[in-house]
Amino acid sequence: MKTYLAKVGEIERGYLLFDASEAPVGRMAVKIANALRGKDKPTYTPHVDTGAFVIVINAEKAVFTGKKDIKKEYQKFTGYRSGLKITTPEKLRESDPARIIKSAVWGMLPHGRLGRAQFRKLRVYAGADYPQTAQKPVKVSMEK
């Protein structure tokens, strides 16, 4: 048997819908990253973007386990001296709830050209409404 390697023209992408209020951020981010990379498909090829488009709703209701809501810190450096900005998930949820999900998923993707292309297929929305209804996304349950 020969090893199957997907070609760019053979890839079939779909749309997957995740609800952020169903599971903790880390567990959901693993499933989202695997869907973006295509690791949940039998046609997965490491050097080709075989993943699906992912839509995440209810990012404002995302939960953490333990005391991470208070103790976890997000760091951003502006590039200037003493330009380190530190924020907690509590404050981030008020200003930009989508960044919580995006930063968790970005940390699980490869940090190169392919990873950036896969990350662009992620759409995160704070509420339950999203504009991609015409694509008829398949809802992914976070049950085991």
From CA 84, how far away is CA 69, in angstroms rounded? 20
| Nearest C-alpha neighbor of 38 from the set 49, 27, 47 | 49
Taken in order of first residue, the domains within the chain and their CATH numbers are: 13-63+93-139 (3.90.1180.10)
State mean pLDDT over 48-53.
95
State mean pLDDT over 10-33.
95
pTM value surpassing 0.85 = yes
State mean pLDDT over 122-140.
95
Please check the confidence at residue 95 and state whether its pLDDT lies above 70.
Answer: yes
Residue 142: pLDDT band (50, 70, 90) is confident
Please check the confidence at residue 144 and state whether its pLDDT lies above 80.
Answer: no
- Looking at residue 61, its amino acid is K
Burial 26-39 (b: 16+ CB within 10 A, else e): eebbebbbebbbbe
Which residue has better confidence, 22 or 1?
A: 22
From CA 131, how far away is CA 31, in angstroms rounded? 22
Tokens standing for 82? 């003493």
Half-sphere exposure of 41 (CA within 13 A, CB side): 23
What's the N-to-C CA distance of the chain in angstroms? 32
State mean pLDDT over 122-142.
94
Please check the confidence at residue 38 and state whether its pLDDT lies above 70.
Answer: yes
From CA 36, how far away is CA 43, in angstroms rounded? 13
